[in-house]
Amino acid sequence: MNSTLVDFRQSTATGELDRAFQGFVPPGKKKNLEGRVALVTGGSRGIGKAIALKLAEEGADVVINYQYTKDYAEQVSGLIDQIAMRDDFGKLSGMIDNMENGDQAREVSRLIDSMGKHSMACQASVDDIEQVSRMRDEILKQFGRIDILVNNAGIVRDKSFAKMTSDMWREVLSVNLDGAFNCTKSVIDGMMERGFGRIVNMSSVIGRMGNRGQANYAASKAGLIGLTQSLAKEFAGKGITVNAVAPGFIETDMLKSVPKEIMDKIIAQIPLGRLGKPSEVAEAVVYLVSRSGDYITGQVIDINGGLYI
């Protein structure tokens, strides 16, 4: 069985699975988020992808929401199924070691049947409440509930305020802020019924300190902080925590449009002297939604290399 596992890992072309397995918890040890179902909006790329993989690594079943990039979302979902299968294969090999020959085939077949799916990709534009409700219904059909919601999907439409159109304003507020409202609204009743929920909103250092050319984005990200604090107070008695993370400049597609000379100036202002990595944001999110974060609610965790102190 061990050789199957080795071959299985080598068969991944990108090496992403290998990286995803860093910190892998051996079979038999109960993982932090085992039995939890998570929805990560905008989980197909960048920070959302890192969060989805980290949640899966900690044992959660994870739904990858996306707007356009179906292929990317399905790739992340496939990686998560493989992470879970690896654990299941571990359980399988442990049981086979203790089995009588005659029982093996029947038992192996039963275990394989029980592995099931651990992830799925789900299209919905978070700014559209009907699409979000449809997504919620699909998740409930497949996984039965949603315990963890990470409102990560976000966009930028940068322009100086003088040149910013009302469409650019509306679009950013609709995805970044209304999106979190829509997704939270869709899952909150279920969380209240079960008396458990973990919600993390993706703010930004820009929501803390503002930025030229980003009035729309800064307003949306500051709005998420107000939403987080208010919901934390409203749902604290229901077993639901609501927190935000506020990353600084993180290496993702979102920064690709920033010219090199501007990026160099930004990096020069970061005390730790570099951009952040998506995995560094993911670590904080997993902390907040796991048992380690049970007594934390209404907080904003800054992950910015000291850019905003």
Binding site for ligand NAP (CB under 6 A): 41-42, 44-48, 65-69, 72, 125-127, 152-155, 175, 202, 204, 247, 249-250, 252-255
Question: Among residues 90 and 179, whose Cβ is nearest to ligand NAP?
Answer: 179
Pick 92 or 219: Cβ nearer ligand NAP: 219
CB of 104 to ligand NAP, least distance (A): 43
Residue number, 96 or 266, with CB nearest to ligand NAP: 266
For the chain, report the end-to-end CA distance as a whole number of angstroms: 51
Least Cβ distance, residue 119 to ligand NAP (angstroms): 15
Residue 39 or 92 with smaller CB distance to ligand NAP = 39
Give whichever of 92 and 214 is closer to ligand NAP, judged by the CB atom: 214
CB of 4 to ligand NAP, least distance (A): 32
- Which residues participate in catalysis according to the annotation? 217
Residue 275 to residue 244: CA distance in whole angstroms: 20
Tokens encoding 277: 């990595």
Dihedral angle computed from the Cα positions of residues 127, 133, 138 and 143, in that order, rounded to the nearest 10 degrees = 100
Least distance to ligand NAP, CB of residue 214, Å: 10
**What is the nearest approach in angstroms of ligand NAP to the Cβ of residue 309?**
16
